[in-house]
Structure 1
Amino acid sequence: MLNIFKQWYTRKFSDPNAITLLMLTIGLAAALYFFGTYIIPVMVALIIAYLLDWPVSKLMQFGTSRVVSSSIVMLLFSGLVVSIVVGIMPVLWQQLSNFVQDVPSMLEKGRVYLLALPKDYPELVNPDQVKVIMSNVEGHIVTIGQTVLSTSLNSLKDLVAWLVYLILVPLLVFFMLKDKQVLVAGFEQFIPNERKLISQVWQEMNQQIMNYIRGKIFEILIVGSTTFITFTILDLRYAALLGTLVGFSVLIPFVGAALVTIPVALVALFQFGVGSEFWYVIIAYGVIQALDGNLLVPILFSEAVDLHPVYIIVAVLFFGGLWGFWGVFFAIPLASLVRALLNAWSLSSHEKAASA
């Protein structure tokens, strides 16, 4: 057994480049695991700077300096974010408030519907089952209310921290864009010279990550806006709120669409009942999801790495459990990174064996 492990270790890690890649991977993973919650603003700033580096590079091709290009891009990006917050957030907040106010009437309609089930379907439902269902629903509502209240109190405590982030993150993004070469050169000083595999993994992942992030942002905007317009035409309540939920549901492959189906169906059911309008909403929602999965995703992610659905779901669960929203958002690129690391080590061992 010891000889088998020794042979495996010699085959995989006899190359100094493989050792460098392994140590860098372990170091970054340990830093994110132990200090991830403390450096969230830095990670968010790094992600934003990575996305904005492309327009900065394009502006520099017209002869502008990096400082000027970074300033222009930051001003445009900040203006876009402020416009979205000012234009959309009040509408979402108003619809969320209306939804909370309508919850008691929805629950009353649901109670009346449940009480009518034993009369309409006596062979399938009895009054005792309805009582059990109603008691369970009431218990869940109380639990949800307590959770929302505690979350609101915690949010008040974190308000100062969020205000600090709103100041620090834009500053970090600007300096990361402006001083990119200096920061990269400083980071490279800590990496050994044997970095062939690191460069190989970075070249493999760089374009894929950029394509994924850009494609996912476009997918959120297209799916969310299309859903909002469709629900508005169908006169469904909370169209903006539901459109936002449907748009962000694409962040969770396979599971997100199924989860968002529940609030969409419930709102349509309580508003229209089981009638033609209800089925129009459900059919329209199903068409949007079908077009997203079979048309939009292949177009936007044509250059993305093809991963098995099992690997994607495991990656969403694992990285989402570690880092929440950002873990879910980057689950597929992180899974692709893991595969690229494994491929790099395998290639290194094959080249070592061939040279021997």
Structure 2
Amino acid sequence: MSAGPPEAEDMGASPTRIESTRLRFEAARALVWASVIGLVVLAIYISQSLLVIFGALVFGAMIDGGARLLGRVLKIGRSWRVAIVLLLTVAFFIWLVIFAGAQLAEEAAEFPQIVTKQAGELLALLRQHGIAVNTSDLQSMAGNLMSGVGSVTRAIGGLFGGLTTLLLIVIIGIYLAFDPRAYERGVAWMVPEDYRPAFFDTLSHQAYTMRRLLAGRLLGMVIEGVFTWAMLAIYGVPMAVLLGLLTGLLVFIPNVGAIISGVLMVLVGFSGGTEMGLYTIFVYLLVQNFDGYVIIPMIAKKTVDLAPALVLSAQLVFGVLFGILGLALADPLLAMIKVGLERRAARIDQHDAMEAEAG
């Protein structure tokens, strides 16, 4: 007896079903690779937004670190401590506007003229010694240099007015600082349940490292800025306040920031004569040696140990891709990646040790 029409036997079969097990495996693997490539392309497409979010995490970590520091002397709620840190920050910028805003704006306006003048004198000196340098090339280099610090000088002259990216970083960072646990739980909810303990463990170590790294960075910024201002002011170097603030701010960008601040300091110094220029070189070397042999080793003992070549490479890559923001955040981002990889390696070693004991 016939079991029915042939069409009925194939009713459950899908026209897109791959019968071969090998082909199904290869198709699944191709889908995985396509998904990975798609995610990479998406990450590149929204990279600026992701970098702003990471910048907000860095800012939130600064506020969180200040609130924890206050918690050692003030036994009040966390929200109150965060509010105090924010009020102190706002008070600092108000003071800067009232007492130093006009002077800094005037000095910042004169700064490009001094740099351009000194670049022209350097060009003439090179030509006198038989070194041919194209004027357009030098202007291009000077333009690139000024564009690299343009965001910083505009931030000082205008006190961060009109910078939408910075405003977004501050607003998001404040939300994160007030209630970080809520956002941690929200992200953890998207992580598979079996991986949540590892997620919280990694996040805890990354947050701890971030706070230590930024605390050391802020300490270095204050010390270098104040020391540079004092040394330049004693000798009467023009724009000592501006150069001190620039040096302090650019310390946030390791290695590259020191080079930029040093070049600017020396250019301004030589505008007052050879002796003043040589003195600014001495100040720059003194500040950088103090930072390199005293401050950085102290910070490195309490934070991650990042190889200088690796940090510099990351700064160059992120600087090319994302500009001044990528340059500033390259170091914290690299530190977070390293901590994540270290925690993963530690869990693998712990799992292998448990299996060895069980066996």
TM-score of the superposed pair, with normalisation by structure 1: 0.69
Tell whether 2:88 aligns with 1:76: yes
Cα deviations by residue, 1:184-236 (Å, 9 ceiling, x for unpaired)? 33332222222233233223322221111111112112101211111111111
Which one is further off, 164-173 or 175-184? 164-173
Tell me the CA shift for residue 97 of structure 1.
Answer: 1.9
Contact between 2:59 and 2:169, CA under 8 Å: does it hold in 1?
A: no
Please give the alpha-carbon distance, in whole angstroms, between the structure 2 residues aligned to 1:114 and 1:57.
54
Check 1:288–1:163 CA distance in 2 against 1; reply closer, same or farther (3 A cut).
closer
Equivalent residues in 2 for 1:249-328 (5 A)?
A: 249-273=250-274, 276-328=275-327
Q: Percent identity?
A: 23
Check 1:35–1:190 CA distance in 2 against 1; reply closer, same or farther (3 A cut).
same
Equivalent residues in 2 for 1:44-123 (5 A)?
A: 44-57=55-68, 64-102=76-114, 106=118, 109-110=121-122, 113=125, 117=128
Check 1:26–1:172 CA distance in 2 against 1; reply closer, same or farther (3 A cut).
farther
Tell me the CA shift for residue 167 of structure 1.
Answer: 6.4
SS in 1 for 2:271: helix
Q: Which residue is equivalent to 2:192? A: 192
SS in 2 for 1:246: helix
Please give the alpha-carbon distance, in whole angstroms, between the structure 1 residues aligned to 2:215 and 2:38.
28
Query: Which amino acid in 1 is paired with 2:94?
Result: V
Please give the alpha-carbon distance, in whole angstroms, between the structure 2 residues aligned to 1:338 and 1:58.
26
Check 1:102–1:351 CA distance in 2 against 1; reply closer, same or farther (3 A cut).
closer
Cα deviations by residue, 1:230-250 (Å, 9 ceiling, x for unpaired)? 111111122223223332343
Which one is further off, 70-79 or 294-303? 70-79
Please give the alpha-carbon distance, in whole angstroms, between the structure 1 residues aligned to 2:115 and 2:346.
58
Q: Which residue is equivalent to 2:339? A: 340
Tell me the CA shift for residue 174 of structure 1.
Answer: 4.3
Tell me the CA shift for residue 42 of structure 1.
Answer: 4.4
Tell me the CA shift for residue 63 of structure 1.
Answer: 5.7
Please give the alpha-carbon distance, in whole angstroms, between the structure 2 residues aligned to 1:285 and 1:348.
44
Contact between 2:250 and 2:258, CA under 8 Å: does it hold in 1?
A: yes
Check 1:165–1:239 CA distance in 2 against 1; reply closer, same or farther (3 A cut).
same
Say which of 37, 40, 48 aligns to 1:37: 48
TM-score of the superposed pair, with normalisation by structure 2: 0.69
Check 1:215–1:265 CA distance in 2 against 1; reply closer, same or farther (3 A cut).
same
Larger RCO (CA under 8 A, 6+ residues apart): 1
Say which of 138, 148, 153 aligns to 1:140: 138
SS in 2 for 1:271: coil
Contact between 2:314 and 2:331, CA under 8 Å: does it hold in 1?
A: yes
Query: Which amino acid in 2 is paired with 1:263?
Result: L
Contact between 1:234 and 1:281, CA under 8 Å: does it hold in 2?
A: no
Cα deviations by residue, 1:272-295 (Å, 9 ceiling, x for unpaired)? 13xx44333322321221111111
Cα deviations by residue, 1:293-334 (Å, 9 ceiling, x for unpaired)? 111222344312222222222222233344433433333333
Structure 2 stretches of 5 or more lacking a match? 1-35, 155-160
Equivalent residues in 2 for 1:147-226 (5 A)?
A: 162=162, 171-194=171-194, 195-226=196-227
SS in 1 for 2:311: helix
SS in 2 for 1:306: coil
SS in 2 for 1:302: helix
Contact between 2:269 and 2:279, CA under 8 Å: does it hold in 1?
A: no
Please give the alpha-carbon distance, in whole angstroms, between the structure 1 residues aligned to 2:167 and 2:256.
35
Query: Which amino acid in 1 is paired with 2:88?
Result: L
Cα deviations by residue, 1:57-106 (Å, 9 ceiling, x for unpaired)? 56678564454444443333322233335544433321122234446754
Contact between 1:251 and 1:328, CA under 8 Å: does it hold in 2?
A: no
Please give the alpha-carbon distance, in whole angstroms, between the structure 1 residues aligned to 2:37 and 2:343.
15
Query: Which amino acid in 1 is paired with 2:308?
Result: P
Tell me the CA shift for residue 251 of structure 1.
Answer: 3.3
Rg larger in structure: 2
Structure 1 stretches of 5 or more lacking a match? 1-24, 118-124, 156-160
